[in-house]
Amino acid sequence: MTGPNATSTSSSAAKMGRHRSKSTSGSTYCISSPGAESATLSTPNNAGRSSGEEEEKDGGVLFYVNRTGFPIDGVTWERMWTHVAKVHPDGQDISKIRNAAYLPKHPVPSVPNFKPTMSVPDWLLAIQNYMKTLQYNHTGTQFFEIRKTRPLCGLMETAREMIRESLPIKCLEAVILGIYLTNGLTSVERFPISFKTQFSGNHFHHVVLGVYCNGRYGTLGMSRRQDLMDKALTFRTLSELVLEFEDSYRRYQHTLKKVKIGLYVPHDPHVFQPIEWKYLVLNAARLGREDMRKELEKHGRDMRMKILKSSSAQSPIKERSRGKSLSPRRRQSSPQRRHIHRRDKSPAALDRKPAELSTLTDGYQIRI
């Protein structure tokens, strides 16, 4: 999951060639996606930004999101190519792709079809292979806008658009696509798992789709690194699964700072309820590995017993009492005050600055 290499970015850019012919004019926004393996530096009140455009940084690199949908408009199209030319090691050669008289038509992958004879692990593998065929998006422009507060039914429409357009995707888009493709498997529970890590003073975010079936946990997702995306349905506990991701991050010199676990996503694609992305928030640095394991196992048991309720539901949350709470007592409230219902085991440390981590010997910074 290092920065994009020549092959991957050029492949993603070339794959976009067939969409340019449909482009129109319009505008787009540049934002930092909170679930797209990024670090965020924001500017208050969008001071100094042009109309219709937000500029933030992801690990020191600009990151754009196509907010105008498809067909891709002219502004988004030009901005994508300009950005690739700036950040790509062989950016000067990007014009060869743009000006090529002929580009081979990229094959559109077939959507996997579930068969009654397929086991759940085989079906999850088919879904993951389909997402890998779409490829990871290295262009610096996220093609599908994912708003986490959007109702599930709306996000499922975005998933159908991903299948229709068959463009490269990033980790947040992969979570939505994974939910859509597993809606028919009622024996499989799905929930989001988000990670915040630190490397060389910058913070990075990543998200995968956790899956649970027949007493085993696994994940679906997309990443620059093979060991930070899908995990086989073999982990006995939620803590084993999360700590496996922490070990993978350590191999890339990233320190795990926070883990956020959501609730089970409904299988009905027509519900107007948004996804609960971070019901449980764990500060890995404060809790330590053993305490974090205990909290994850408790949360996993509660999820299996299905006593946890989404903050969008009208019924109050049934929560385990465990000594003195670090957060205020929860009360039943309106759906708008969603943060009250989250179990946050991370004490606030607003004045504490993250410790600087060393870079690699060659000065190259790993982006996870």
How does pLDDT run across 69-92, given as a tens digit for each residue?
999 999 999 999 988 888 888 887
Tell me if residue 223 is catalytic: yes
Whether pTM exceeds 0.75? no
Domain hosting 282: range is 62-97+107-303
Given this model, what pLDDT does residue 312 score? Answer: 54
Of 7, 16, 10, residue with least CA distance to 105: 16
Residue 325, in any domain of the structure: no
Residue 154, in any domain of the structure: yes
Which of 29-38, 298-307, 323-332 holds the top average pLDDT? 298-307
Catalytic pick among 223, 248, 311, 346: 223
Residue 320, in any domain of the structure: no
Considering only residues 156 and 340, tell me which one the structure prediction assigns the higher pLDDT.
156
- Domain containing 223 — which CATH number? 3.10.620
Considering only residues 180 and 317, tell me which one the structure prediction assigns the higher pLDDT.
180
The confidence band for 326, taking pLDDT boundaries of 50, 70 and 90, is very low
Tell me if residue 171 is catalytic: yes
Catalytic pick among 206, 254, 299, 341: 206
Catalytic pick among 171, 239, 254, 311: 171
Residue 156, in any domain of the structure: yes
How many domains are contained in the chain? 1
pLDDT digits (tens, 9 = 90+) for 195-227: 999 998 888 999 999 999 999 999 999 999 999
Tell me if residue 206 is catalytic: yes
Residue 232, in any domain of the structure: yes
Residue 235, in any domain of the structure: yes
Residue 341, in any domain of the structure: no
Residue 350, in any domain of the structure: no
Mean pLDDT over the full length of the chain: 77
